[in-house]
Amino acid sequence: MQQVLVAPGLKFARRRLDWKVIGLVGVAHASSHFFQLVIPSLFAPLAAEFGLGFAELGVLVAVFYAISGIGQASSGFVVDRAGARPVLWFGLSCFVVAGALLGAAPSYGWLLAAAVVAGVGNSVFHPVDFSILNRRVSTPRLGHAFSAHGITGNLGWATTPVFITTLTHLFNWRVAAFGAGLLVAIILALTIAGRRLLAVDLVRTPGRSRRTTASPAASGTSLGALLVNPVVWGAFLFFMFSSIAISAVQNYTLPILTATYGISSVAASTALSGYMVAGAAGMVLGGFLVSSGPHSERIVGMSFVAAGMLLALLAMGWLPAIAAVPCVALAGLCAGVAGPSRDMLVRRVTPRGATGSVYGLVYSGMDTGSAVAPLAFGVMLDAGLRQGPYLGAFLAFLLAAFFAALIAARARRVH
């Protein structure tokens, strides 16, 4: 009888602890997405201040993602050996420094330095976040944890333009840059205050001391073993193609919709915001779907194919103008549904003790896609191929769905 009375209380405490961890990790993750758009949100004042062209401004973004991709591939190994919490604090501190460099920048070289430091900071979040979530959140709520993780990222993206534009309008762009660094400093303080929620024991072998990590061979985290693992490269390509598709929407929705459907830039901006908001709603739905069954790749495949087909339909110009904005939002909803299943799919093929390493390597594919896609699609638009980015997104979504199926097939053979 006593066990019956105690069990519900323990269950409630476990649930509350899970959501505290999910919330704190989500806030930290939001800061990563927030800072991804700080420099792009300052393009206009930076161009006016330093006399920069779009190519020079684009280099800042390319440098950010190139550094982030390289760092993300290696930061996972650091997470598995040093622990997630100190690496998270390092990443947040880099954002604070980058905000200070950006706000004080007297020349283009300083802007590049800020992009490099911010890229280093951005590189740690996926290995850190998923190491903590996979090892601190109980299995019944993992799907919801991945869903919340994606939602907070979208909210971080949505916050940046409003935050930066408001401070720039009220003061100037330098205050906005310093303000971005200060906001992340507050988040850093929150993670330090809640450090117990982020504590993750390192993987260790029997007979070793509590803080001794397992050898790479024992834990499956050696670089050589991962680099010859076809699942890792399949997941890398999966994330690269999905990132290419999302980049097409984020960077080129405005020119595509205004040129193809003749709608105003304000309406096109509404479509882009609708894509992000609907994507967050899709992640909520996706959190329930991923918890209901083991076939993550089916959810990813169907969602990505649907999103790609909607973008292809938009690219062809066959819809009435009034339907363009809701169609973009619907594509965002479909893409968002795939988010939690995508993260669960990678978890199924991650060796024990290699969570940070694997997530770091495969998520560097996102940075690769984000660095390459804007340049490639920009060339298409300059050449007059206004449908190019959306048709490229359609193809990229199809390829991402294909690699999701390959990863799942491999996971079934292994397990």
Q: What number is the average pLDDT over the span 100-105? A: 97
Please say if the pLDDT value at position 267 is more than 90.
no
Q: Which amino acid is at 247?
A: S
Residues sharing a CB contact under 8 Å with residue 54, sequence separation 6 or more, in sequence order? 47
Mean pLDDT of 165-174: 91
How far apart CA 28 and CA 115 sit, in angstroms, is: 19
From CA 286, how far away is CA 342, in angstroms rounded? Answer: 10
Among 180, 208, 211, CA closest to 31: 180
In which residue are the tokens 């330095």 written?
A: 113
- Among candidates 300, 266, 295, which has minimal Cα distance to 282? 300
Three-state SS at 53: coil
The pLDDT, as a whole number, for residue 206 is 44
Render pLDDT for 34-71 as a digit per residue (tens, 0 to 9): 998 898 888 878 989 999 876 788 788 888 988 998 88
Contact 198, 88 (CB under 8 A): yes
Residue 281 has pLDDT above 50, yes or no: yes
pLDDT confidence band for 214 (50 / 70 / 90): very low
Confidence of residue 390 (pLDDT cuts 50, 70, 90): very high
Q: How far apart are the first and last CA of the chain?
A: 39
Identify the CA nearest to 276 among candidates 342, 324, 341, 332. 332
Residue 2 pLDDT class (50, 70, 90 cuts): very low
Instruction: Report d(CA 373, CA 246) in Å as an integer.
Output: 9
Helix (H, G, I), strand (E, B) or coil at 341: helix
Output the pLDDT for position 76.
Answer: 75
Whether 4 shows a pLDDT value over 50: the answer reads no
Judged by average pLDDT, the poorest of 170-184, 317-331, 357-371 is 357-371
Q: Residue ranges of the alpha helices (H) in 105-172?
A: 108-122, 125-136, 142-170
In this predicted structure, what is the pLDDT of residue 211? 41
> Does the pLDDT value for residue 293 go beyond 60?
no
Quick: pLDDT tens for 8-30: 667 778 888 889 999 999 999 99
Reported as a pLDDT band with limits 50, 70 and 90, residue 237 is: confident
- At residue 318, φ and ψ (nearest 5 deg) are -85, -15
pTM: 0.73
Mean pLDDT of the 154-178 span = 88
Inter-residue contact 408 to 345 (CB < 8 Å): yes
Q: How many CB atoms lie within 10 A of CB 212?
A: 12
**Mean pLDDT across the chain, nearest whole number?**
82
391 Cα distance to chain centroid: 22
